[in-house]
Amino acid sequence: MGRGRRGLKPRFHRTATALLLTVVAVAVPCGAWFFAGSRGVEKRARLEEEAVTTHAYKKGVILAERLATRLEVLREAESDRAFYHYQNLYHDPKGAAEGISVLPSPLAQGPTDPLIEAHFQVDDAGILTLPTLNDEFPELGLHSSQGSQCDLFGELKDITFFCTLESAASALTYRPRSGVAGNGTVAANGRSAMVEILDAMAWHQHLSANALYADLKYGQKSLGPALEDGKDEGKIEIRVGPLVWYTLPVGGQPGLVALRGLETPAGIWTQGFVISPDTVAQYLGSSSVPARFQPAGRSRRAPPPGEVRIAVDGTPWEVALDISDSLRETASQAASDRGRFLSVFLLGTGAAALAGLLLVSMLFQAERLGQQRARFAASAAHELRTPLAGLRLYGEMLVEGLGDPGRAADYARRMAGEAERLGRVVTNVLSFTRLERESVALSPVTGDLGEVVRAAVERQRPALEESGAAVELQMAEDLCPVTFDRDAVTHILQNLLDNAEKYTREVDERRILVQLASTPDGAALSVSDNGNGVPRELRRRLFRPFARGHHPDAPEGLGLGLVLVRELARAQSGEVSYDEAPGGGARFTVTVPAPPAPARPVPA
pLDDT band at 403 (very low <50, low <70, confident <90, very high): low
561, pLDDT greater than 60: yes
Position 340 scores a pLDDT of 93
C-alpha–C-alpha distance, residues 587 and 530, integer Å: 9
- What distance lies between CA 188 and its chain's CA centroid? 55
C-alpha–C-alpha distance, residues 31 and 14, integer Å: 25
Among 10-24, 169-183, 196-210, 436-450, the range of highest mean pLDDT:
196-210
DSSP code at position 470:
E
Position 12 scores a pLDDT of 56
Q: What is the pLDDT of residues 171-226, one digit of tens each?
A: 666 443 333 333 333 444 455 678 888 888 888 888 888 888 888 877 766 665 55
Nearest of 535, 512, 408, 517 to residue 461 by alpha carbon: 512
C-alpha–C-alpha distance, residues 447 and 481, integer Å: 5
428, pLDDT greater than 80: no
491, pLDDT greater than 90: no
DSSP code at position 12:
-
567, pLDDT greater than 90: no
Handedness of CA 46, 303, 309, 191 (dihedral sign): negative
C-alpha–C-alpha distance, residues 353 and 364, integer Å: 16
pLDDT band at 429 (very low <50, low <70, confident <90, very high): low
105 contacts 86 by C-beta, under 8 angstroms: yes
Domain spans of the chain?
Answer: 81-275, 441-593
Share of the chain above pLDDT 70, in %: 76
Whole-angstrom CA distances from 299 to 68, 296, 324, 526 are 22, 9, 21, 94
Position 440 scores a pLDDT of 61
pTM equals: 0.57
86, pLDDT greater than 90: yes
DSSP string covering 360-380, please? HHHHHHHHHHHHHHHHHHHHH
100 contacts 205 by C-beta, under 8 angstroms: yes
Q: Determine which of 238-247, 310-319, 443-452 has the lowest per-residue pLDDT on average.
A: 443-452
Other C-beta atoms closer than 10 Å to the C-beta of 234 total: 8
**Residues shown for the chain:** 604
pLDDT band at 500 (very low <50, low <70, confident <90, very high): confident
Angle, helices 408-436/561-571, rounded to nearest 10 degrees: 60
Q: What is the pLDDT of residues 290-349, one digit of tens each?
A: 888 889 875 556 677 788 899 999 999 999 988 888 888 999 999 999 999 999 999 999
- What distance lies between CA 58 and its chain's CA centroid? 33
C-alpha–C-alpha distance, residues 227 and 212, integer Å: 10
Can you list the positions of beta strands (E) in 415-466? 445-447
C-alpha–C-alpha distance, residues 526 and 399, integer Å: 43
442 contacts 571 by C-beta, under 8 angstroms: yes
Handedness of CA 243, 246, 250, 256 (dihedral sign): positive
Position 66 scores a pLDDT of 92
Across the chain, mean pLDDT equals: 79
Q: Determine which of 204-213, 217-226, 390-399, 556-565 has the lowest per-residue pLDDT on average.
A: 217-226
Looking at per-residue pLDDT, the higher value among 398 and 47 belongs to 47
Average pLDDT (347-373) is: 83
601, pLDDT greater than 60: no
C-alpha–C-alpha distance, residues 308 and 311, integer Å: 10
167, pLDDT greater than 80: no
Whole-angstrom CA distances from 526 to 530, 542, 587, 588 are 14, 17, 7, 5
Nearest of 358, 360, 353 to residue 27 by alpha carbon: 353
Average pLDDT (552-572) is: 72
Q: Determine which of 95-109, 458-472, 489-503 has the lowest per-residue pLDDT on average.
A: 95-109
Strand partners, 104: 89
Check if CATH label 3.30.2310.20 holds for domain 441-593: no
Determine if residue 311 is left, alpha or beta; phi over 0 gives left, psi from -120 to 50 gives alpha, anything else beta: beta
Position 44 scores a pLDDT of 92
What type of residue is 457?
A: V
C-alpha–C-alpha distance, residues 318 and 308, integer Å: 10
**H-helix or E-strand spanning residue 198:** strand 194-199
Angle, helices 408-436/486-502, rounded to nearest 10 degrees: 110
pLDDT band at 438 (very low <50, low <70, confident <90, very high): low
Position 547 scores a pLDDT of 59
Instruction: Determine what percent of the chain falls in helix, strand and coil, rounding each to the nearest 5.
Output: 50, 20, 30
Q: Determine which of 51-55, 261-265, 426-430 has the lowest per-residue pLDDT on average.
A: 426-430
Q: Determine which of 259-263, 448-452, 547-551 has the lowest per-residue pLDDT on average.
A: 547-551
β-pair type (510-519, 469-475): parallel
Share of the chain above pLDDT 90, in %: 21
Nearest of 504, 507, 547, 549 to residue 529 by alpha carbon: 504
Q: What is the pLDDT of residues 121-149, one digit of tens each?
A: 998 888 999 998 888 888 887 755 556 77
